[in-house]
Amino acid sequence: MNYEKQAQQFLYDTGTKLLIRWKETRETDFTGTYQCHDIYKVILDRGERHYIFDFTASVINTWDRLLSYNTKTTRTIHEKEIVKWGGGKYPQDLKIGAYDVLACLDTYEFEDLDEFAQTFGYTDKPSKAVEVFEAVQEETKNLKILFNEKEIEALREIV
């Protein structure tokens, strides 16, 4: 199945415009280790309703974009050096698309922090669980403003 095509079809069917603009490259800590990620400003626009958020690209998509500027560079160079020479350039060829963004959106509501932590395995970092839980709740709230239940079900099918 062509996942990008499926995501594009969802946008078409719902009359949603997806705008993606590279914002910066920075080291972020998702798993206890800092890794280099591209950050994009994303807008999902449905006329009067829209949702604007930052999207963090995968490490591999970030590396692919940065390495495309210099084919002699390998992934063995320290990430801080990569950020220095790659972070200031606006990428002409985005390494993410509709599927990358839509497949990462969380549309499930959790009754409380305990249910969320148990679902995603947060056991040893309660402060991180609270931070992520609140972000997921906010994202879900915004998506429910943007899309109706039938459309949210269709969004969940993009996997």
Distance CA 136, CA 70 (A): 36
- Its pTM stands at 0.78
Same domain, 98 and 29: yes
Same domain, 75 and 63: yes
Same domain, 37 and 99: yes
Same domain, 99 and 109: no
* Residue-by-residue pLDDT tens, the chain, 159 positions: 699 999 999 999 999 999 988 888 888 776 667 777 888 899 999 989 999 999 988 877 777 777 766 554 444 444 444 444 444 444 555 668 899 999 999 888 888 888 888 888 887 667 778 888 899 999 999 999 999 999 999 999 987
Same domain, 33 and 99: yes
Same domain, 84 and 145: no
What total number of domains does the chain contain? 2
Same domain, 31 and 66: yes
- Domain boundary (67, 86, 104) is at 104
Closest among 59, 43, 62, 61 to 51, alpha carbons compared: 43
